[in-house]
Structure formats: C-alpha cells, structure tokens
Structure 1
Amino acid sequence: MDEKAVAREMYHLMFLFRRQADNPDDHIHEGRTCRHGASLRISHRDMMFLNGIRQLHEGELVKMSELSSSFRITPAAISQVVRHLEHEGLVERVVLESDRRSVYVRITELASEIIGKQEAKINQNMIELLHYLGEEDAEALLRIMRKCVVFVNQKHEQ
C-alpha cells in the first residue's frame, strides 16, 4: 500500500465531502426574519453551535466558559459566535442574581424549532444513506468512524 497515495485520496475525498456540506449557498433559510428585520439565514456552523448549546445541559442554561471548553475554542471566539446568534434571535444571554460573575446562554424557542426541523432532515438523509450503503457497508462505516473518533481524541490528548 502506498500510504502517501492513500492519504492524498482520503484528503481529497474528505475535501469533496466537506465542500458539499460547506457550500455557502446551502444556508438554512427559515422563511422568517431575525431581530434586525433581515431574512433569517443559518449556516451549518451556527447549527452546530446551537445544537451543542442545547446538548450541553438539555436546553438549560450553559456557562460561556463551558461552551469555550466544550468546543475547544477561546472565550473571545465563543463570545463572538454568541453575539452573532444573539443578534439573530437564536440565543439569549442570562446573568443570574445568584451568580452575577458568570454569563449564561440558552437557545430561544425559535432556535429549538429550527433544530428540530433540521434534525428531521438529517435523520431522513442518514436513513437514505444507510439504505444506499446496505447493512454491511453501513456497519463498516460506523466501525471506521468510531475508530477515527478515538484516534482524533488521542491526538488531542497528546
């Protein structure tokens, strides 16, 4: 096996796969307007953050510092993302009377609705992919993806 050739092909295939997912014209159009009156367009990155916020504490309040740690990005970067999502009316910042030093975030009802619709679309796409692959290839793909996640986690721990 020519490892360099295999690595190049893997990189190229991942590039092609990601390019399809990151198409700038492939924003989620919700058909609503955000707080500042413009049409609401949500990027895949925004959806990942919203879903991550929701999953951290099952929709309850999440500290900004927890988001930074969970997403492995700086507090300044988290603040910028939250500011953007807040501007779109998708998250709210909350300061508790009992903990005035910490800033918390929660997703809005609008964001919850949008996430639910996107999850339904994603689930349908995954079901179609599983049918396309067939049971044996789908199980092989899952096994390989799990192994990849373990590898990446080990690399981050080094």
Structure 2
Amino acid sequence: MDKLYEELFRSMNQFRKLKFSEMFPEVCKTDYFVLCTIMDKGENGQITISELAARAKMLPPAISRTLKGLEERGYVERNVNKNDRRNTYVELTEAGRQLTEEARQTMSDFGKSVMSQVDEADMKRLISYLDNIYHIAEKEIEARKGQGRRKEREHE
C-alpha cells in the first residue's frame, strides 16, 4: 500500500511541474489567479483587499506584494474608499482586463486541446476518484490536527 500511496502523490505532484507560465510571459500563476479573482468578484469592478485575500486564500502580505507588482506593470489600480478610509479597493485597468481575458482564452484553448485527447468517461471517473480522495484526505488531516504536538509533549 505504501508504494501505491507514493505513486498516487507522485502522479498528482507532477502537475505542479507543468510550466503554465511559459504560456503567459507577462504574469506568474499567482498574478493570473489574483487577476481572475478580481475580475470575477469585483463589485462594480472593484474588490476590497481583505475580500480579495479571503477569496484567493492568501495572506494579506502576499496579496499586497502581488498587487504591488501588478500595479507597477499597469494591470491593477488601488483606490481608497472615500467614505471609509480603512478600505482600499482594487480594480483591473483596461490593460489588466485585456490580459486576463487573453490568458483565460489561452487556458481554455489549452484545456480543450488536452481534454480532446482523453476519453470523456475516463476523465469523469478520474475527477470523481480524485474528489473522493481529496475529501477523505481532508477529513484525515482534520482528525490528525495537533497529534504531532501531543506526541512531542508526551516525550518531554
């Protein structure tokens, strides 16, 4: 079983090695994800930095670094809320909107090309299996939270 477990995680991990960034020389994976999050959720085209951090599941300092780079390249702009100066909104510039749409189209074309080479029924089964394994693993991690610290205290 250990060998099978290792093979599963090796197989899943190799997807992280794919160089998607070679299709998008202007932005890295994090930039792309943040741009898409802004485009998808923005209220009136805007989203607060705290809401963006929550939706992107990123820490505020990481969001700030990413936004700084995107802002320097002219893809986003920040605006302080005049009614509540504690809130800063982020929105895509026209260049950011265009880049995001082009990147999404590239990803869509890429996905369609890959998927056209795989049997649909096999792909649906694979997705179902992976979702099931993910949920089992998620529950197992939750059940094991803190066990490492308890074992350390027991050995002291």
Per the TM superposition, whether the score is higher than 0.5 is yes
- Unmatched tracts of structure 2, length 5 or more: 146-156
Q: TM-score, normalised by structure 1?
A: 0.76
CA distance in 1, matches of 2:61, 2:124: 40
Cα shift at 1:149 = 5.7
CA distance in 2, matches of 1:60, 1:18: 31
Letter of the 2:61 counterpart? A
Matches within 5 A, 1:69-108: 69-108=54-93
Cα shift at 1:146 = 3.8
Letter of the 1:97 counterpart? K
Alignment RMSD, CA only?
2.6
Q: TM-score, normalised by structure 2?
A: 0.76
In the other structure, the counterpart of 1:8 is 6
Bigger fraction of residues in strand: 1
In the other structure, the counterpart of 2:24 is 28
Letter of the 2:88 counterpart? V
Cα shift at 1:107 = 1.3
Does the CA-based 8 Å contact 2:42-2:91 persist in structure 1?
no
Cα shift at 1:5 = 1.3
What's the % identity of the aligned pairs?
A: 23
CA distance in 1, matches of 2:137, 2:17: 21
Cα shift at 1:14 = 2.5
Count residues in correspondence.
143
Cα shift at 1:103 = 0.7
Taking a change above 3 Å as real, the CA distance of residues 27 and 11 of structure 1, as seen in their structure-2 partners, is: same
Does the CA-based 8 Å contact 2:45-2:91 persist in structure 1?
yes
Does the CA-based 8 Å contact 1:62-1:106 persist in structure 2?
yes
1:16-59 deviation digits (Å, cap 9, x = unpaired): 22111366xx2623xxxxxxxxxxx2112211111112122367
